[in-house]
Structure 1
Amino acid sequence: MVGSGRHGAALGATLAGMTTDYLTRAELRRSGLTRRSIQDAVRSGALIHVRRDRYLTVEADDMYVRAVRVGGRLTCLSLLGALGVFVLENRALHVHIDPRGSRLRDPADRRRRLRLAAAEISLHWSALLEPVGQACTVSVVDAAAHAIRCQPPRAAVATLDSLLNRGLLTRFDLRRIFAALPARFAVLEHLVDPRAESGPETFVRLLARSLGCEIALQVRFDGIGRVDLVLDGWLVVECDSKEFHSDWAQQARDRERDAALAALGYTSLRFTAAMIMYRPDDVLAALRGLLAAHRTH
């Protein structure tokens, strides 16, 4: 509840749409609020006193609140996952901290100092490529740069594929990111392909590349539809984008597609997302065995 009267109206105008930026006490005062009305807004729940001189509206996303309370901004896998971008897995709160930052606090309590050993949190200390003022998050460009450092190479490429596929990054952004990263990451830039429509698809593409396959992506067959990958011109590989099995109706449609592809002389191989992401050696062995058997005939 914002309140009533002149101060309530001032607070309502100040908070309108303010769910991704924080405000300082000075800004609240300049908007017409008094010290007392700020305190009342915090007590009523209209404002969250996140940390010293940092206020957010109650509608702000909880991850934003927790990141600002620590003393920084949401970034990396936490931000990208919230945007629907592929990340391999994430259990931590990823927070960017200014290199000059200090007085880090527990994400659940602004009165307690941060104890990294007791919190699932990952801190990113770096200068930003794109300053963001009082935003509760870094830019997508900086989140991508952090995610490259935070994940294994295949997962990093899959994240970048997802960002480009969704239009959240451009090739120009990609060049800026890799120009700012240590040289050891440069090889990953040339592996990015925005045609990939899921993280598992990227994983399989990279595994197939390591086998020296000829790879075609997102191939369309008349009367059948589009398939994820075709290897060496004959092996169709389909990648389940979900970690768990699809329903029976979908499985029946998949079998019909496999039969239609077989009638055209193609062999189909399907992998679940869990197998692709967590048992890549088994996927690689299956691809290697099937390709080798075909090449000997």
Structure 2
Amino acid sequence: MTRRRLASAVADGSLIRVRKGRYVRAGTDSVFVRAARLGGRVDCLSLLQRLGVFVRDAPHLHIQMEPDASRVPSRPDDVVRHWRPTGASSEALATPVVEALVRATRCQDLRAAVATLDSAWHLRLIDEGDLAVIFSRLPRRHRVLRRLLDDRSESGPETFVRLMLRAIGCPFDVQVQLAGVGGVDFVVDGWLIIECDSGQFHSDWEAQKRDRRRDLAAARLGYSTVRLLAEDVMWRGDAVLSALREIIARGPGGPVSVRNSGEFATSVPR
């Protein structure tokens, strides 16, 4: 495009000038526009969150910067810059997913990193070959995480609970179909159902009624049910792990249904 056409497109709003010689189409996600204006590409947790991949916490904008970049704007307090080469084209506004996952694994604690990798795999954004590439690019201490991944996890909190159950050392199955009940997140030791509830899918009364009917159907089959709040699983994990240890150690024969109540939530130090 000629300079005149570019100027006309910027004037009529069909193009946005992000930096000298760099333009994006009107309507481009503001996160990508901001990253381009800062001289980088959307990367790491910020890109994965945009793609619907689970990340536990992403308060900052993560951008990839070329190591030889010059005359870049100063870094705002809410931006994390990752200085490294990329396989992305010069016009790309984001890094490749595999690169973002490598960086995100290093930017999070190990449980959150497993949950992010599980999520990307479950969404089919990556496959076994991509996982091999990701772990080949990670430090050796991260490679032990590969055997912990499971693409059946439908949410980040489910991954956290699965890792807790592994730590307890009890036998369990994931994503189990029960006659008259439907799919449940976990069946532990053949008698305990564990479900991970979030506001996204369980907040309205109709959803809660379905849950109660499912719990009743499960009780008729001899199962006890524990419903964990996703926020407690992610942010009060030690308390949840302790409670699960006690429930599983006690074995069958306790209350039919144990719910993660407000009393539990308020008893855990913030």
Instruction: Provide TM-score, normalisation by structure 2.
Output: 0.89
Number of residues of Structure 1 aligned to a counterpart in Structure 2: 254
- Please tell me whether residue 185 in structure 1 is matched to residue 142 in structure 2: yes
Work out which of the two has the higher radius of gyration on C-alpha atoms and give 1 or 2: 1
Aligned partner of 1:217 in structure 2 is: 174
Distance 1:241 1:164 in 2: 21
- Please tell me whether residue 70 in structure 1 is matched to residue 38 in structure 2: yes
CA contact (8 A) 1:132 1:139 kept: no
1:146-184 CA distances to partner (integer Å, 9 max, x unpaired)? 111111111111111111111100011011011011111
CA contact (8 A) 1:244 1:272 kept: no
Aligned partner of 1:120 in structure 2 is: 78
Distance 2:101 2:243 in 1: 32
* 1:254–1:238 distance in 2 versus 1, CA, 3 Å: same
Amino acid at match of 1:247: D
Distance 1:156 1:241 in 2: 20
1:190 aligned counterpart, secondary structure? helix
Aligned partner of 2:263 in structure 1 is: none
Query: Which of 49, 52, 55 is 1:81 aligned to?
Result: 49
Alignment of 1:1-297 (within 5 A): 28=1, 33=2, 35-105=3-73, 114-116=74-76, 119-128=77-86, 130-242=87-199, 246-294=203-251
Q: 4+ residue stretches of structure 1 with deviation over 6 A?
A: none
Q: Gaps (5+ residues) in structure 1? A: 1-27, 106-113
1:169 aligned counterpart, secondary structure? coil
2:82 aligned counterpart, secondary structure? strand
Aligned partner of 1:14 in structure 2 is: none
CA contact (8 A) 1:229 1:238 kept: yes
Q: Gaps (5+ residues) in structure 2? A: 255-270
Distance 2:200 2:246 in 1: 24
